């Protein structure tokens, strides 16, 4: 998650929140995950894919 967090801060500095690509749009939390809580949230999905919610950047952990 460190690489994704660095990506978000470097290329999307005006976006303070992350939209989880794994959560349903109806899930309230998926619209407002603070960048510093990103890793904790993504680990809840037990996934190894980290994808930026603002562009097509992704990487495997």
Q: Which two tokens stand for residue 39?
A: 């890793």
* Average pLDDT for runs of 10 along the chain of length 61: 82 85 68 78 67 74 53
6 token code pair: 């660095």
Q: Which residues pair with 33 in a beta bridge?
A: 18
Domain span at residue 39 reads: 2-60
Give me the number of domains the chain comprises.
1
**CB–CB of 38/18 below 8 Å?**
yes
Q: What pLDDT, on the 0 to 100 scale, is given for residue 16? A: 83
């Amino acid at each position: 998650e460190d690489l994704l967090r660095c990506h978000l801060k470097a290329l999307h500095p005006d976006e303070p929140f992350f939209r989880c690509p794994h959560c349903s749009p109806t899930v309230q939390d998926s619209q407002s995950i603070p960048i510093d809580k990103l890793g904790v949230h993504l680990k809840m999905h037990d996934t190894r894919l980290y994808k930026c919610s603002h562009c097509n950047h992704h990487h495997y952990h």
